[in-house]
Amino acid sequence: MNVEQTDIDADFDAALASYLSSCEGAGSYRVVETLKSSDFEVTEKVCFCGRDGGELGPFVRKRIDASCGLGHAYERLMRAQRQGLRCPNLPRVLDCWNDGERLSVLMEWLPGVTLEEHVRQAEPSEALAREATVQVARAVGCLHEGLGVGAPTIHRDLKPSNVMVVGGQNGLPRSFVLIDLGIARTWREGAEADTTRLGTRSYAPPEQFGFGQTSVRSDVYALGAVLWFCLTGEDPAPGMDSRQLAERPDVPSDLRRVVAKAMSFDPEERYASAEELARAVEGRAGSGHFLPAKAVGVEVPAAAGRAWNVVLALAVAVLVAASWVNVAEPTGSGAAWPLWLRLLAFGAWMPAGFASVAFVLADRRRLRRRVGLLQALALCAAVVLGGLLAIGVLGALFLRG
């Protein structure tokens, strides 16, 4: 089981939910902000207002149209948590109530940003991709195991904007919490297809749009897409072959097979479970249990990388300026060289060499994310360096002759 028995947490959640329910009434909650709104669901940041004027919160409140038949996963999660089951990568559901017109869900407020926002701000990286995928896979595994109270729950809307990044500052551990179970459904034996076709195109597998019933392998597909996003900073192109996605230069060689397998068109060719995918990401194919997610290597902050690139650019500018001074006012043996040779050596060959070395030493993460032909660029750079070296050798031989 990928859940933890936490009786103390369950007792606290139940007591808090009971208190809030006993105080429930018109005007009991103050809406701080509307976070999301659709035809069938409204998500709000709210505070509970007590009779004495005090406030408790903030909380997240979802109000889902009861006629659409969605949102029941929150009720299942609440029941599981009150029985003592707790997955650290799923939010705490404090209360659910249905008045016949809408299902209302009250959950904990998670301070942080979405994984989508985090990647846009900090830029994609292998370390982030491994850490996030393993933790989100833990949450998905909890749902697939039925939360200890029934059949597997399929999330069906697993994407970077539905993952919260919490902590990671002031020495606090970083965690990734899977949110928004609004369109999650319970897997049914023998069903041929989902009754409702919902989801985000870049992260939803083919069967989610009428090609069959979604299953645990459907969420595995979405997990592979999230892994790819964390590596590249881009949403997968809908309909693109998984092997083409895996061959992107910014996908590490040991993760290419993972991406291709997880995002296979045929569900039978994917990993059989979220845990199996997580083991592949961590390189633990033989292990049977999740290990705590951890970063791989040291991730240099994007700001430090940009600062380093600025230093390199300034150094190249100084060296190029000094090189061109030798063209106009040569010293030493260079004074005897003809102008064309000084232009070739000091005006072209040396500046190109400085730029090539700076390119090799630079932080190229932004380039990897935005240029899909990085391998071709590297080959071109090697050819240019080889040509410049050949010119240098020929020039030296000419001078000696």
* Cα 43-49-53 angle, rounded to 5 deg: 155
Task: Convert the pLDDT of each residue in 339-365 to its tens digit.
Answer: 877 777 777 878 887 787 888 788 776
DSSP characters for 180-242?
--TT-EE--TT--S-SS--S-TTTS-GGGGTTS---HHHHHHHHHHHHHHHHHSSPPPTT--H
Domain boundaries, the chain: 4-108, 113-282, 302-400
Task: List helix spans (H) across 343-373.
Answer: 350-361, 365-370
Distance, in Å, from the CA atom of 354 to the CA atom of 132, rounded to the nearest integer, reads 38
HSE toward the beta carbon, residue 196, CA cutoff 13 A: 16
288 to 87, 129, 227, 279: CA distances (angstroms):
18, 21, 21, 8
Same fold, 4-108 and 113-282: no
3-state secondary structure of 268: helix
Distance, in Å, from the CA atom of 329 to the CA atom of 127, rounded to the nearest integer, reads 50
Distance, in Å, from the CA atom of 84 to the CA atom of 267, rounded to the nearest integer, reads 33
Provide the token pair at 193.
């297809």
Chain centroid to CA 258: 15
Is there a contact between 134 and 255 (Cβ–Cβ < 8 Å)?
no
- What is the predicted pLDDT for the residue at 179? 92
CATH architecture label of 113-282:
Orthogonal Bundle (1.10)
Task: Convert the pLDDT of each residue in 188-197 to its tens digit.
Answer: 544 444 444 4
Using pLDDT thresholds of 50, 70 and 90, give the confidence band for residue 128.
very high
- What is the predicted pLDDT for the residue at 331? 75
Using pLDDT thresholds of 50, 70 and 90, give the confidence band for residue 72.
confident
Using pLDDT thresholds of 50, 70 and 90, give the confidence band for residue 288.
very low
CATH architecture label of 4-108:
2-Layer Sandwich (3.30)
- What is the predicted pLDDT for the residue at 321? 85
**Candidate from 103-107, 306-310, 324-328 with smallest mean pLDDT:** 324-328
- What is the predicted pLDDT for the residue at 26? 40
- Whether this prediction's pTM lies above 0.95 is answered by no
In the block, tokens 């009971």 appear at 18
Q: Which residues of 9-22 are buried (b: 16+ CB within 10 A; e: fewer)?
A: bbeebbebbeebee
Q: Which residues of 39-53 are buried (b: 16+ CB within 10 A; e: fewer)?
A: ebbbbbbbbbbeeee
Q: What is the mean pLDDT of the chain?
A: 78
Distance, in Å, from the CA atom of 229 to the CA atom of 203, rounded to the nearest integer, reads 10
